[in-house]
Amino acid sequence: MSTQLDLECRQVVKSFGKFTAVDNVSLEIPQGSFFSILGPSGCGKTTLLRMLAGFIEPTTGDIRIKDKSMLGVPPNKRPANMVFQHLALFPMMNVAENIAYGLKRRKIGQAEIDRKVADVLERVSLPDAGEKRIEQLSGGQRQRIAIARSLVLEPALLLLDEPLGALDLKLREHMKVELKQLQHEVGTTFVYITHDQSEALVMSDNVAVMNEGRFEQVGTPQDLYYNPSTAFVAGFVGDANRWEGRIESLEGGQAMVALEEGGVIATSFAPGTSFSAGETVDLFVRPEAIVIERSKAAQEKARLSGGKNTLSGVVQNLLFDGANSRALVRDQATGHEVMVSLPQTGAFSDLKSGEALVLSWDVEKTRAFKATKAASQGIAA
């Protein structure tokens, strides 16, 4: 990858009075990538984005676009354009005028403007929409026009503020693919903020998970999903089952963790973390990592059996969702509820509530983090 950076943030801080909305955030986004900032509402991601756009000045730190400091540069002078949450298309203008608005500000000739507007409308597959009024467009079309209005200015950065939020589910799924495709074609760097982990994971080259004004982890979607480095990320990105417990013993790369309700789960560590015996930890296991078997055997507490964590329980609830179907299994011994994915082979399509199951998963699929409050928040969100 070329080392040309489109955006660089250096220790950016923004405080409002005593409240720190963005706390010492640094990031580097290489040219042409799709970068998402993922976080729950109130995490500071919108503040960060508005600082990138120039509506807010950072309290300290530096923002550099194309290696130029943007401090003191007003939004209308920055090579960054924004797609607003509610799109902010100008209702008093038609589609072509909306798109031409920015071009006109650059004193470009009318013929050139017309050509560029036609090009970008072509690009977003709405070649004939130029004369339409904004209120005549569907939600998806508006989306595309809003993006076209920014893209036509060929910005170094395109900032997107949860623009899919207002769309219905089906259209949102569709637009995710389309946005990704569009970014790939135009090659502009996208900075996308969202609270929807699926949007971030599907579209992005890199994702920053943000919480309480800080970046928890920055990495590829795969990294975040499979190798979360904090309890918050583990809980916020994707679904996860969580247990709390105390480390009983450490051995090699593994630890035995005693659960509060009884039973023991073996866990591996994330690289670069260290634990000591007696520490309280949070354990995370993804639903799809758990293998299920029907069983008539007596109820037993969680234990390590044959190199795998094993526990038995009873199906409490079936959550059918096609390929994404799950079951909520109750550990009879401890009362803990565990979410498991049903295999897509359809092997358990006849599963019923009340059936007894044995759950098992590899030790490496368990992640342990030092216990924090944030972990529980992550799951709640």
Partner 1 sequence: MSSVSTLSGTAEQERKVPVIKLGTFLLMLPLLLWLFLLIILPHVDLLMVSLREKLGYREYAFSFQNYIEFFTEPLYWNTFVRTAVMSIIATVITLVVGFPISYYIAKVLKGKKRSLLFMMCLIPFWVSELVRTFGWMILLRESGVISSFLQWAGVVDGPVEMLYNDASLMVGLVYTSMLFMVVPLVSVLDTLDDSLIEAGYDLGGNTFNILREIVIPHAMPGIASGCIVVFMLTLGNYLTPTLLGGKDGLWFTEQIYNQFITRFNWESGSAFGFLLLILSSAIVFVGLKLSRQTLADTVK
Nearer to partner 1, 133 or 174 (CB): 133
Q: How far is CA 161 from the centre of its chain?
A: 13
| DSSP bridge pairs for 253 | none
> Cβ of residue 45: shortest distance to partner 1, in angstroms?
17
Nearer to partner 1, 88 or 347 (CB): 88
Nearer to partner 1, 132 or 246 (CB): 132
Candidates 372, 369, 301, 304; CA nearest to 338 is 301
> Cβ of residue 95: shortest distance to partner 1, in angstroms?
14
> Cβ of residue 144: shortest distance to partner 1, in angstroms?
16
Nearer to partner 1, 106 or 296 (CB): 106
Cα separation of 380 and 327, whole Å? 19
Phi, psi values for residue 257, rounded to 5°: -115, 125
DSSP symbols for 170-234: HHHHHHHHHHHHHHHHH--EEEEEES-HHHHHHH-SEEEEEETTEEEEEE-HHHHHHS-SSHHHH
- For strands 34-38 and 189-194, give the pairing: parallel
Nearer to partner 1, 31 or 85 (CB): 85
The answer to whether residues 146 and 152 touch, using CB atoms and an 8 Å cutoff, is no
> Cβ of residue 75: shortest distance to partner 1, in angstroms?
5
Place of tokens 């190798």: 227
3-state secondary structure of 102: helix
Candidates 73, 346, 25; CA nearest to 214 is 25
> Cβ of residue 76: shortest distance to partner 1, in angstroms?
5
Nearer to partner 1, 81 or 312 (CB): 81
> Cβ of residue 81: shortest distance to partner 1, in angstroms?
6
Q: Is the dihedral of CA 167, 169, 170, 172 positive or negative?
A: positive
Nearer to partner 1, 30 or 139 (CB): 139
Q: Which amino acid is at 41?
A: S
| DSSP bridge pairs for 29 | 7
> Cβ of residue 53: shortest distance to partner 1, in angstroms?
6
Residues in the site for partner 1, rule: CB under 8 A?
53-55, 74-77, 81-82, 84-86, 88-93, 101-102, 105-106, 149-150, 153
